[in-house]
Amino acid sequence: MAGRRGGSVSSAEASLLAAGTGGVEELCEHLADDTVAWALLRWEVGSGTFVRSKLVAIHFNGEEVPAVRRGRLNARSGEVLAMLGEAHATLEVKRKEDLHLDFMCERLMKVLTADVMEKSMSAEALRKDYEALIAERKLRKATSQKSVGPRTAKENQKQISVDRALAAVGDATGPYNWVLLEPEKFELHNAGYGGLLEMKVWLAEDLVLFGVIRFTFGRETASSVEGMTASPKVVKYIFVHWVGPNVSAVRRGKWNAKQQQADAQVRAICSITFRREAHSLDDLDLADLISELWRLAVVDGAITDAGKSQISVEEYMASLALEQQKQLEAELEEFGSDSASRMCTDLHTCVDSVREAGGEMNWVLLGMQKREAPAQAAGAKEAAANAKKAEEERLATEAAAEAKKVEDERCAREAAANTKKVEEERLAKEAAAEAKKVEEEGRAKEAAANTKKAEEERLAKEVVQGEPASSRPRADSPFLTEEARPSESVISTRLAGHKGQASTEPRMSGPLKLKSGWGWWWAKRHVKLTGGKLQWWRKAAEGLPDVEYRLSDGLTRWVLARHEGTDLEMRCESRDNHHGSKAVGERVILRAPSEAEAQKWKDALMEQMEYVEMLLAWPMHLDGRQGDIRNYGIEYP
């Protein structure tokens, strides 16, 4: 390479910008239209023993790069392409958006199908084949990364003793924050640093387990002394006694008997705030446990008011996120020798990996970069520190969001419980009111029955002791002589209080419009009200009426249901819920020529109805026939 001259493009050297296994799409993520870069891409088609690899060199000549700088960089293109080595095809791309799978398939169709076995493949088939291979590699990489640095001791396959695991939990900054012991010999079931949610995953439904979990709230500011780490402000421990729902009764009794031994073993390494026996995962609700810790802290008065304010779901999740980050970094350092060997950081190593058929990397990107000055290196370190701080803030934000979600769910459950309670109370009140109503109705019916019975007994006694002065034998009784039978003049005198009601002259008469039954049309009829009867004819009032209704008798009665303007609506009702008459439910609507005429018909109808009702209430003997006033020689008006 040429000697370096300060600040010029010629002083820069080709360096590794990025490398990966995600193919064209992943390569595009590292390109920008204001840069000039060179890439080597291994394009693979086919599968199994028929996989074919083609190397494609890509000169990315960003169109937004200034013309002078672009010209100087392009002058060194041959130098960089030589470092990438020979390729089956070379492409030039000026915009990031132009570099996609369809573009590659179209431009490389002849190269990619040069082999005899692949001449029949279409561009679409090449695309699908390539995408399938890239997806397979991504899955393999993700699986490999997932196996590095597991969270729990069992996943990590560490041979850790029970005492060491308990000591790690008992240490306020230890690598584990929960541990579970099996009931037989108190062997380690598992331990981890993922907090309550992780521990609940390992609670087997067919076992009784004993364990302890550490809750940390808030963190002290780190000491200025080098090597000193931050320590938690408030640390609490909860002893967990898990009883799986599928444990048999015999084993449950046998294992539960060892609870005191497990309790003593845990107390040897930490101070237990309280114990929680759980038969389901719902018994280990995060918000509920932290609420109990806060309550006990207030009662005991062992911590300051500031410490009490920190005992919350939000503070716990934030502290837990910091613990997890610290432990993940420690595990990455522990597994660093193995994982670093698989990370390509050297330019020539990455190029060789891309050129090798089946190599881990399938693309590499080179560019011209000046060697960093000391000030730039310091800036990079500061940027890394800022990035780490931003990551910690992101984790804290996520933890706060998770805590808020847990709190919202708890509030929703409480609201649902309160709603259910209010609804139950309302239903209980309604049921009580209904029961009271039924009870009052029953008492009213019983009182009415007693009153009726007493009245019947009284009347029976009067009949035995002698007929009361107010009672009179019926006019048609066979035991009366002709002299004792009341005459029509006597009856007329008794009804003199209702002057004109017994007259045979019509009370009202004239032409009206009417609807009978439940029809929809009006008919003009000659209507007459006389002697408690409503009659009408089609034309003049001659001969027998076409229709005749009794306003009241022993079974039914007509009532005025509605008076609106010139309309009068009458309906037939049953007495004492008796439905034996066909007239029950009938309806008649009368329409008068004017509102004044309608008022006259209304007054006449009401007088006739009241008069007939008075006759039906006439005092009579209790011989079962008092419902028909004609038995007394009185005709209906």
What is the DSSP secondary-structure string of 307-348?
HHHH-SHHHHHHHHHHHHHHHHHHHHHHTHHHHHTTS--SHH
Q: Quick check: 190 and 153 in contact, CB under 8 A? A: yes
The pLDDT of residue 376 is 58
User: In this structure, what DSSP letter does residue 117 have?
Assistant: G
CA 206, CA 183: separation in Å to the nearest integer?
Answer: 12
Half-sphere exposure of 112 toward its Cβ, with a 13 Å CA cutoff?
Answer: 24
Helix axes 347-355, 77-84, angle to 10 degrees: 60
The pLDDT of residue 2 is 34
Helix (H, G, I), strand (E, B) or coil at 201: helix
CA 492, CA 499: separation in Å to the nearest integer?
Answer: 10
Secondary-structure percent of the chain, ordered helix, strand, coil, rounded to 5: 45, 20, 35
Strand 232-243: give its sheet, edge to edge: 188-192, 178-181, 208-219, 232-243, 274-278
The pLDDT of residue 491 is 39
The pLDDT of residue 484 is 37
Give Cβ neighbours of residue 217 (< 8 Å, ≥ 6 apart). 232, 233, 234, 235, 236, 307, 310, 311, 312, 315, 316, 319
CA 617, CA 474: separation in Å to the nearest integer?
Answer: 14
Q: Quick check: 239 and 252 in contact, CB under 8 A? A: no
Q: What average pLDDT values come out for the chain (637 residues) when binned by 10 residues? A: 44 84 88 92 72 86 91 89 90 90 80 56 74 69 49 77 92 92 92 92 94 86 42 84 94 93 93 94 93 86 68 87 79 50 69 86 85 58 84 85 87 90 92 92 89 81 52 38 41 42 71 84 91 88 88 82 93 73 81 94 89 68 50 52
> Among 323, 324, 269, 272, which Cα is nearest to 293's?
272
pTM: 0.36
CA 279, CA 246: separation in Å to the nearest integer?
Answer: 10
CA 91, CA 240: separation in Å to the nearest integer?
Answer: 64
Phi, psi of 247 (to 5 degrees): -80, 135
Task: Using DSSP bridges, classify how beta strands 274-278 and 232-243 pair: parallel, antiparallel or unpaired.
Answer: parallel
- 368-374 — which CB contacts under 8 Å span 24+ positions? 368/9, 368/12, 368/13, 368/14, 368/15, 368/36, 368/73, 368/76, 368/80, 369/12, 369/13, 369/15, 369/17, 370/7, 370/11, 370/12, 371/4, 371/13
